[in-house]
Amino acid sequence: MTPEQYVQQKAAASGSSFYYAFLFLPRERRAAITAFYAFCREVDDVVDEVNDPGVAAAKLDWWSGEVAKMFAGAPTHPATQALAPHIAAYGLQQRQLQAVIDGCRMDLTQTRYLDFADLARYCHLVAGVVGEVAARIFGQSQEATTDYAHKLGLAFQLTNIIRDVGEDALRGRVYLPVDELQRFDVKVSEITQRQHSDRFAALMRFQCERAQRTYDEALALLPAADRRAQKPGLMMASIYRTLLSEIAADGFQVLHQRTSLTPLRKLWLAWRVQALGRL
């Protein structure tokens, strides 16, 4: 299996909304973003699938070293081997990939966030920087597009947090800010024990409304000159906003289930943005 086949398989197997947006890109850009996405999946899988924090930390240290090797021209992993040829073409920087690793490393040491500002710093590393890299690969021409990409990355991560509350709680992680839990009188123990209540639903409605506002803020930051090039991000926004609407319509039953859209629906939403240019 070639590195290119490896990252393609990794991206397709994830079933992620990102994969459907990539399908509409020109071949070279699609190859670059697929390789970058596979790298992000590899690193994220370390903290999600390795139960021993010490082993997970060692694996992340290995990935840090692997990133350094890649930028030195000697990658050894299929994901970095597939990504390496695209470094120069899209201006990828070592600090960006290290930031993604640093964000995942936070999951090994921090399972609670005091307030939204605290959570936003985590989101910047695991999603904002990812958006920054993706925007360059998609074809960024305006400097202001970086601000849009960071804000859109935040919106995506907030959506992931809402969708995955139950799964994250099983791993001992509660990303919902502590001060907001207190405001809605929801205890961490209720979340870890999967106790749904009207108070929890109100808390999640607050989270959902903030995420939707964040999408609006991101779209307002996108320069008109880059709107066409950044269509993949707009496709993902359409898919993720639809997912949020589904979660809300279902009464925020995120403690016991993981709401998702069918592959056909994701593809249709992506195609609609591609063909009609609207979310």
Domain ranges within the chain, ordered by starting residue:
1-109, 111-278
pLDDT per residue over 173-215, tens digit each?
999 999 999 999 999 999 999 999 999 999 999 999 999 999 9
Q: b/e map of 65-100 (b: 16 or more CB within 10 Å)?
A: ebbeebbeeebebbbbbbbbebbeebebeeebbbbb
Q: What is the pTM of this model?
A: 0.92
Task: Please name the fold of domain 111-278.
Answer: Farnesyl Diphosphate Synthase (1.10.600)
Distance CA 89, CA 271 (A): 27
**Half-sphere exposure (CA, 13 Å, Cβ side) for 37?**
28
Question: Which is more confident, 208 or 276?
Answer: 208
Task: Please name the fold of domain 1-109.
Answer: Farnesyl Diphosphate Synthase (1.10.600)
Cα angle: 8, vertex 10, 13; to 5 degrees: 105
Question: Which is more confident, 274 or 71?
Answer: 71
pLDDT band for 111, please (50, 70, 90 cuts): confident
Assess whether pLDDT exceeds 90 at residue 68.
yes
Assess whether pLDDT exceeds 90 at residue 77.
yes
Least trusted range by pLDDT, from 94-103, 216-225, 256-265:
256-265
- The mean predicted confidence, pLDDT, of the chain is 92
Fold equal for 1-109 and 111-278: yes
